[in-house]
Amino acid sequence: MKPEHWETFKKAARLEKMPQVPVALIIDSPWIPGYLGIKHLDYFLNPEVWFQANLAIHREFPEIIFVPSWWMEYGMAAEPSALGGKIKFWQDNTPSEYPMLFRIEDMDSLPEYDVEADAFMALTLHRIRMQRQRILDTGEILPIVTSRGPMCTASFVRGTTEFMMDLVEKPEWAHKLLDLCTRLVIDWLKAQARAMGPTVGGIFVLDDIVGFVNEEHYEEFAHPCLKRICDAFPKDWVKIYHNDANIDACVEHLPDAGFNVLNWGKQTDIAEVKARIGGRLCLMGNVNPLEVGVRGTPAEVRAATLDVLEKSCGENIILSVGGGVSPGMPRENIRAMLDALNEFNTSRAHA
């Protein structure tokens, strides 16, 4: 992400009036290797392949703000690996995580985590330090630190079905596991910020499992954890929340948790989200990433993009897909989004 991109993103996140609607995409290992025709294992394990892959994407689409910018990640492996989750790697796919906390009561037997030394957290931090200056030398910065959220991390470690049952049957233990995961997330984000240095000014929390609970459970289990995370970082930092599952239970509460930007999925129309939270959040979305972004024609992408933009009225929005860029989204569909955005911005300027 170039400094000017970050300034634009921050202004949009703070709900400032923008002369043009900006565009940002979340890109990571599900999409990049396939798009560039490289193996996932090479992307994860060969530093030169990783660097050149990200550089190529940034140069191909200089008008796009890429979030979080040069993402150092091993799929979703880092957070569960620090708490004992089993990780499997594949040649042509992102890693899979397998829960190993078969009894939630056994969490008391887990060793203390150390984000600087544990599993894929340690490897990620090493890669950040190794690549940081090289990235800065390209004229780009590392402004955002990233983590899976507490409910997501708890589900990776415990198993999603088992953790959902714990919320009902063993709520005291669910709270205890979520407290552990919240502390882990905060420490993990702070460790990344130390490794990246002074260009950092934002956090990006991804927690789709929040979409699996009702509002009552959101308020009891998820909201306090998300608020703790936001409160752990400076007030002027940008806080981005991603959830491309169901957001019905949480959407009105996210500003009170401390978030500035919401990236959500295809399930909820932007008109409804805009009506429900008004001018309290910047909406980053929400062109359908799979049925339209991957499987649609450029004409269908253009129509879907203009629909999102028109329903937003061009206010408090960063154009994006509804979630991360899905594997298989082709160049022509990304260009169709950009062309539609340029058409919309031009028409607004002449209105």
Q: Which of 226, 199, 87, 205 is nearest to 137 (CA)?
A: 199
Ranges of the chain with pLDDT below 70:
none
Tell me the β-bridge partners of 205.
147, 241
Return the pLDDT at 321.
98
Return the pLDDT at 349.
86
* 3-state class (DSSP) for residue 141: coil
Return the pLDDT at 350.
83
- CATH 3.20.20.10 applies to domain 3-349: no
Return the pLDDT at 134.
97
Residue ranges of domains in the chain: 3-349
DSSP string covering 282-324, please? EEEEEE-TTTTTTTS-HHHHHHHHHHHHHHHTTSSEEEEESSS
| Cα–Cα separations (whole angstroms), residue 237 to 22, 24, 240, 262 | 19, 18, 10, 15
Chain mean position to CA 122: 20
Cβ-contact 318, 43 below 8 angstroms:
no
Q: Rounded CA gap, 283 and 262, in Å?
A: 5
Return the pLDDT at 351.
73
Q: If you ran DSSP here, which 8-state letter would residue 207 be given?
A: -
- Per the document, the length of the chain is 351
Return the pLDDT at 195.
98
Q: Which of 227, 232, 205 is nearest to 79 (CA)?
A: 205
Q: If you ran DSSP here, which 8-state letter would residue 222 be given?
A: I
pTM over 0.95: yes
Q: Rounded CA gap, 261 and 275, in Å?
A: 16
Q: Rounded CA gap, 15 and 280, in Å?
A: 8
